Amino acid sequence: MNSRLEKLRTVLNTNNIDACIISGRPNTIYFSGFTGTTSFLLVGMDKAWLIVDFRYTIQAKKQVFEGITVIESKDTFYSAINDILKRNPVRNIGFEGRVLPYSEYIKLKERVSRVKEFVGLDNDIDRIRQIKDSDEAEILQEAALIGDKVFSHILDFIKPGMKETDISTELEYTMKKLGAKGPSFETIVASGHRSAMCHGTATDNVLKKGDALVLDFGVVYRNYCSDMTRTIFIGDPGEELKEIYNIVLKAQRAALDGIIPGMSGIEADKIARDIITEAGYGEAFGHSLGHGIGIEIHENPRLSAISMDVLEEGMVFSVEPGIYVDGLGGVRIEDMVMLMDGKLRNFTTSSKDLIII
């Protein structure tokens, strides 16, 4: 785990910065191992300190990676930082420009008096997390497999006449039974006309014969997220929804076969988008093809019609084309994948055959 801090120090050196402060939870977990809700991680070129209050001292000492000193703040985080800087002076400090609220930034400038300049690092820190190591890949695979087991269970559970909320409750209960901490985002269960809503979270809507049912869910497992979507049907949905399903499946398979390292997010998105557009449903595919997944459910890279992100070995992301027709319904199929050895390794194993219950 020391290699993570070394990568961070490389970013600091490139930006001519002496140290940085990390307060956002995803980067705190990644660089320190600490999972509590409140802390400041101060990383210098030779040393690193995790500052916590009394509530988290014992937890922090058990969780932090080797080479990080835990400091219990007796007053404020800012005074603790000043005390550290008395013994380890620096000229400037970077911070998470994307994460730190403006009000907190003002406090930082006013109260950490031993620093001449504060520099927003924007996404520079987050980019380190884009490339997953072998340990992260293993955890993400396990998270995806929990999702597969949840899907297998829910297929036996679903019956016509159920409410969407009945299904979302069962999904989330099953996640926890299988070892997950909980859902990685608000579970999407959208049936019938509501399946045309890309983010249709569960309501009291009742499943009826002929409905499309979009199930989009993920788990948090050992601090990492999973994400998958399957669309099934409650009885025969009719020819148009069957056709839409097959178009989406064709687009997804083409993307899974065609995405390679060095591609831009635009090029990856275009593989699936062209197929959907040629089938006459281009305007019904309004979201991007995919997004990075890791400690956060939405990370870089982005696979979209405007994304210049370059796809690299070790990146983990979703591939999730969809078609949504107002008044009829929608279909989305999503797998979580990793770029490895020049191609995609698919972490999601659930069937994509057209399923009618």
Same domain (yes/no): 11, 145 = no
The pair of three-digit structure tokens given for residue 340, joined into one six-digit string: 């490895």
User: Which of 100, 128, 156 lies at the terminal end of a domain, its last residue?
Assistant: 128
HEC string of 160-213 equals CCCEHHHHHHHHHHHHHHCCCCEECCCCEEEEHHHHHCCCCECCCCECCCCEEE
How many domains does one find in the chain? Answer: 2
User: Which of 128, 157, 173 lies at the terminal end of a domain, its last residue?
Assistant: 128
Pairing of strands 316-319, 335-340: antiparallel
> What is the pLDDT, as a whole number, of residue 119?
94
Same domain (yes/no): 107, 157 = no
Same domain (yes/no): 118, 47 = yes
pLDDT tens over the chain, length 357 residues: 689 999 999 999 999 999 999 999 999 999 999 999 999 999 999 999 999 999 999 999 999 999 999 999 999 999 999 999 999 999 999 999 889 999 999 999 999 988 999 999 978 999 999 999 999 999 999 999 999 999 999 999 999 999 999 999 999 999 999 999 999 999 999 999 999 999 999 999 999 999 999 999 999 999 999 999 999 999 999 999 999 999 999 999 999 999 999 999 999 999 999 999 999 999 999 999 999 999 999 999 999 999 999 999 999 999 999 999 999 999 999 999 999 999 999 999 999 999 999
Q: Does residue 357 fall inside a structural domain?
A: no
Q: Does residue 352 fall inside a structural domain?
A: no
349: nearest Cα among 149, 140, 172: 149
Is residue 70 within 8 Å of residue 84, measured between CB atoms?
no
For tokens 């039974």, name the residue.
Answer: 177
Same domain (yes/no): 274, 339 = yes
| H/E segment holding residue 302 | strand 299-303
Which residues constitute the domain of residue 6? Answer: 2-128
CATH assignment at residue 73: 3.40.350.10
> What is the pLDDT, as a whole number, of residue 2?
81
Q: Does residue 80 fall inside a structural domain?
A: yes
Same domain (yes/no): 154, 75 = no
Q: Is the peptide bond before 301 cis (omega within 30 degrees of 0)?
A: yes
Give the chain's length.
Answer: 357
CATH assignment at residue 188: 3.90.230.10
> What is the pLDDT, as a whole number, of residue 7?
96
Same domain (yes/no): 42, 141 = no
Same domain (yes/no): 156, 292 = yes
77: nearest Cα among 36, 117, 122: 36
